[in-house]
């Protein structure tokens, strides 16, 4: 197994399950993509991206499977690589040993889930839109279709943009409170009267708990604030960079 610098969640240290929240370190990409960029959709050298993804798969000892993420609520079950290339979806679910379910992100919240008793795992990508419209719930439902039970599912939210870095407009908050007025609790005062700070990880955790996943946590790392460890869409925009790398979060059954 190839070793890379990764973060893990103690909740997911489960029998028969391996997982990793990869950082941007340990790869071969250069420049703004340095160094472990796994984003096929980025403008990085495709050969470098392939090598980076190979290293991640080797670290977990399996075959990496990711979807073409589109901020949807679509969760797909897989038992191996997609024959016709990655389909559009935002959660990958598997009950097959050696299939590394992966989610890409660069500020959005990656969610890794496992039911070790049923031997079902999943990786989901939750930006604000997917989190609000139910991508976590879709992943849980797909896991249940393979025999998982939500009261047994354990979940961890990986590195994502933290509340101190995520300033939004009041109209953004209105989208959430229109859906459920109680969601106002995930917003705090911003620098101006028309600005708010949004707590994405807390929102994702609240949705997981409401769906019946009692054991869940955020690893507590802010992608936008820690440029040496993480890629960040928002940070790249602020710096005027033309593109950004993508981080991988992944989980696999032994």
Interval 14-24 mean pLDDT = 98
| Domain containing residue 239: CATH number | 3.60.140.10
Query: Using an 8 Å Cβ cutoff, are 246 and 105 in contact?
Result: yes
Range of the domain at 243: 6-160+215-253
pLDDT tens sequence across 91-143: 999 999 999 999 999 999 999 999 999 999 999 999 999 999 999 999 999 99
Alpha helix (H) residue ranges in the chain: 46-60, 128-133, 135-145, 170-179, 200-210, 233-239
Q: What is the pLDDT of residue 187?
A: 98
- Rg over alpha carbons for the chain, rounded to the nearest Å, is 17
In a domain, 1, yes or no: no
Query: Using an 8 Å Cβ cutoff, are 221 and 213 in contact?
Result: no
- Per-residue DSSP letters for 36-95? ----TTSSS-HHHHHHHHHHHHHHHTSEEE--B--S---EEE-SSS-TTSPPB-SEEEE-
In a domain, 246, yes or no: yes
In a domain, 65, yes or no: yes
The mean of the pLDDT values for the chain is 97
pTM, full prediction: 0.98
Q: Given pLDDT bands bounded at 50, 70 and 90, which one contains residue 2? A: low
Q: What is the pLDDT of residue 1?
A: 41
In a domain, 232, yes or no: yes
Structure tokens that stand for 16 in this block = 């028969």
In a domain, 23, yes or no: yes
In a domain, 133, yes or no: yes
Q: What is the pLDDT of residue 86?
A: 96
In a domain, 28, yes or no: yes
Q: Given pLDDT bands bounded at 50, 70 and 90, which one contains residue 3? A: confident
Total structural domains within the chain? 1
In a domain, 180, yes or no: no
State yes or no: pLDDT of 66 exceeds 60. yes
What span, in angstroms and rounded, lies between the C-alpha atoms of 248 and 58?
A: 13
pLDDT tens sequence across 169-204: 999 999 999 999 999 999 999 999 999 999 999 999
């Amino acid at each position: 197994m190839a070793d890379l610098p990764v973060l893990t969640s103690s909740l997911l240290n489960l029998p028969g399950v391996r997982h990793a929240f990869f950082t941007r370190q340990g790869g071969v990409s250069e420049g703004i993509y340095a160094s472990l960029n796994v984003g096929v959709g980025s403008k990085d050298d495709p050969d470098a991206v392939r090598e980076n993804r190979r290293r991640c798969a080797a670290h977990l000892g399996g075959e990496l499977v990711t979807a073409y993420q589109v901020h949807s609520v679509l969760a797909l079950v897989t038992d191996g690589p997609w024959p016709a290339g990655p389909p559009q979806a935002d959660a990958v679910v598997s009950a097959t040993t050696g299939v590394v379910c992966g989610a890409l992100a660069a500020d959005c919240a990656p969610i890794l889930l496992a039911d070790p008793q049923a031997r079902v795992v999943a990786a989901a990508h939750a930006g604000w839109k997917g989190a609000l419209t139910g991508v976590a719930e879709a992943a849980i439902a797909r896991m249940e279709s393979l025999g998982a039970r939500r009261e047994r599912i354990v979940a961890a939210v990986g590195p994502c943009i933290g509340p101190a870095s995520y300033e939004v407009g009041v109209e953004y908050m209105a989208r959430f409170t229109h859906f459920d007025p109680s969601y106002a609790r995930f917003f705090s005062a911003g620098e101006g009267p028309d600005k708010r700070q949004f707590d994405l990880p807390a929102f994702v955790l609240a949705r997981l708990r409401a769906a019946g996943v009692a054991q869940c946590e955020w690893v507590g790392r802010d992608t936008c604030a820690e440029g040496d460890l993480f890629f960040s869409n928002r940070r790249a925009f602020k710096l005027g960079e033309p593109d950004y790398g993508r981080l991988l979060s992944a989980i696999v059954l032994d």
